[in-house]
Amino acid sequence: MLVPIKPLGHGAFGSVHLCYHLDEGLVAVKIVHPENFDAREWKTSISLSKLDQKSIFIRKYLRYYISNNEVLLLIEYSNMKTLELITKHPQIQMPSYTLRALMKQMLEGLRVFHLSNLVHRDIKCDNILLHSPVGSGRVYAKLSDFGFTKKVDQSNEQTYPKGAYQHQAPELFQGPVALSQKIDIYAIGVTFYQLIFHKLPIQGFNRNDYKMKMLQMKRIERPQEIKDDILWDLLSQLLEFEPDKRITAEQALQHSYFTSPEALADISPEQNELAQQAIVAVQKSNTSISEFDKDPTFIVAESEIKKFIQTETRQTQSNQYSDGPNYSESKSLHLYSSQEYNKSSSQSYSSSAFKYLAKYLITLYSRTMTDEQSKVQKDLLEQNMTMEQIKEKLEKFSSLSLLERDVVCVNLIKQLKENKQGYQTAQQLGIFDLLLKILNTFDVDELYPIIYEPIITIIVQVSEEQIKDLVKSGYINWMQRMLISPKAEILWDAVYAIRKTTRLVAAQIDIGKENPLYEELQRNDIMKKLIEIFHSQDPNIKKISEHAAVALGLIFKATKIEGQLGEEIIHYNKQLTKESDPLLSNDSIFALALLAENQENHGIILSGNYAKQINDILLVDTDIKFYIRAIQLSIRLYKLGTREIREQLMKFISISRIEQLSSNKTEMFCYYPINMNEELRQLTSKFLDMVKEQKEER
């Protein structure tokens, strides 16, 4: 769930916004059209997440969502612009200890990146982001933008250059070549050259001019400005024209420029102080501290980078960068107001994801964060409202600004999730009634996901009987109002809310029992409308139809769906398990698991060798949530199925793989929450026990 705070940028790819995510905190959200979404970015982040070694010097891709017309990529937010901030201010002298630490950070990030057998192909100053965690006093350089990333060429297949030509290695100008990580080494050498000399090593008017000059050279000549022989030796090895002689990132980190006694002694008092603070934090059980935070040779003090920011501020006559966290995301992106977004014919967005964000954008073409946006950012990070204060705000909800409404809802969600008595307190104070009044009386155009999320959150706090009481009190009436809207974005939000609510409810109900919402959804025609959306042939709402199919599967828990509709819903959900949207495909498997609670659905579920597809999910190196859903489906089919169904299932299911998952002997499990690992262990053990008991009975 996202709370937009301000726009960060806009370009040919789409737009970027600073948002608050309920689970991730402050994030940068990139919104792109599906046609512009390059899955390599996401796949690269997955490859990096599975490495034994992690790096704080590589930007994290957190998750993505696919809406009706856009893809939303949630990326780690970096608050101090890019490395170009430094390169364009030659009048500011950077101390040697800061330069060395900055270079070490970038090389360490690249070293870990290369461990995953990847080539970045677009390393340049604009793709090295700078981030200072609020209150840390330090800055991290983060390698970002994985759109051109590819695996190292193992088959000697020829490849063509990508990225900025000024950073491309000499071999790339000689025709297509086998892809090698050495092209990244040359690119980071050019980046270091820019960082030190504030210019490129080769000047060219365009790619052809640059190529002609490159082909006439044998090496990059040493600039007269450089006095440090050891530094130049490092740069020359990074900028070596022959790729076989070019050093690796790991070798560069062992260069005497970083390891000599003189280099190790070139440490400022501030670097030492920040390192000591990190050591003390570790002693106080602060798990966010890395080994690099304790090593002064890797520490870049925020005070040094602020010199460049303050100069930038004076030049742009902007106040945005004056106080720590309110730095811009990227210099290369142009900022637009909501009015200007709407005027742009080439970049017009009408679906809910963009509208949900665009409604918050300031109407001034400015880099300045408004006072309200600054306060909202602070309030979202602190989240210190009491239930009484929340009630007071809800009573005058219509007079609050859109951003203020979001702050209230985020605080309420926190209270409901973290406070065991949250539901009872909310009920006693009348907060629940106030929420329902808002949802049932406000225009549906004003009902954004963050407003109804508190109501959905309540579901996981109550018993099955309380759920039924909630339904009787009008819990789902607002969903019906949204479903009859002619606007696609509102229809999308309605189906999303129904899908999420029915999933959360169904997950709490015992196997074999119907969904408590089933009767009420039938009574008030919500089911009828969902079926209508599911059957719609309108291409503009295809994505909504897919989510409606999943919602129907979740609603018909433990129920035999009569007629052709049942086959259609089951077959559609089977197709969706291959969907690129991870949330949708994960929920579709769960929908099939719930439908499998009725034995009469088993034949349709396993038709077309679907058991093999279940096994494929278990075999592939994927998100642990998919393993959980696949095992949940397998358990229901095996436990409730006939002998023929069991045999059909076991013909494809790999017991050795389930045993491996049960023992958590895969490298990826350490990166997931303990409760998720435990759930998978319990489910796999349960399945193995059932299979064992069945064999003993025979």
Of residues 601 and 15, which shows the higher confidence score? 601
How big is the chain by its Cα radius of gyration, in Å? 28
Whether 30 has a binding-site annotation, put simply, is: yes
- What is the spatial distance between Cα 423 and Cα 695, in angstroms, rounded to a whole number? 46
User: What pLDDT is stored for residue 181 in this prediction?
Assistant: 93
Kindly list the distances between the CA atom of residue 537 and the CA atoms of 128, 247, 493, 561, in Å, as whole numbers in the listed order.
45, 57, 19, 22
Q: What is the pLDDT of residues 321-367, one digit of tens each?
A: 333 334 333 333 322 222 222 222 223 233 344 444 444 433 323 33
Q: What is the mean pLDDT of residues 156-175?
A: 73
DSSP letter for 232, please. Answer: H
Q: Give the Cα separation of 399 and 397 in Å (integer).
A: 5
Q: Output the pLDDT for position 51.
A: 67
- Selected residue with higher pLDDT from 161 and 660: 660
Averaged pLDDT, 80-106:
94
What's the one-letter identity of residue 619?
L
Q: What is the mean pLDDT of residues 645-661?
A: 93
The answer to whether the CB of 185 falls within 8 A of the CB of 247 is yes
Q: Does the pLDDT value for residue 91 go beyond 60?
A: yes
Q: Which two tokens stand for residue 486?
A: 């002619």
Q: How confident is the model at residue 270 (pLDDT cuts 50, 70, 90)?
A: very high
- What does the chain come to in residues? 698
Long-range contacts, stretch 461-469, CB < 8 angstroms, 24+ apart:
461/416, 461/422, 461/423, 462/423, 464/508, 464/509, 464/516, 467/505, 467/508, 467/516, 467/517, 468/516
Q: What is the pLDDT of residues 124-145, one digit of tens each?
A: 999 999 999 888 999 999 999 8
Token pair in block for residue 484: 């009859």
- Cα dihedral 545→338→10→77 (10° resolution): -80
**pTM to 2 decimals?**
0.74
Handedness of CA 617, 669, 150, 242 (dihedral sign): negative
Residue pLDDT, tens place only, 281-315: 999 988 889 999 999 999 999 999 999 988 887 77
- Helix ranges (H only) for 556-654 are 563-576, 582-595, 602-606, 610-619, 624-640, 643-650
Q: CA-to-CA distance for 96 and 265, rounded, in angstroms?
A: 11
Which CA distances in Å does 505 have to 415, 419, 463? 20, 20, 10
Q: What confidence category does residue 150 fall into, taking pLDDT thresholds of 50, 70 and 90?
A: confident
pLDDT at 378: 79
pLDDT of residue 423: 83
* pLDDT tens string 386-427: 999 999 999 999 999 888 898 999 999 999 988 778 888 988
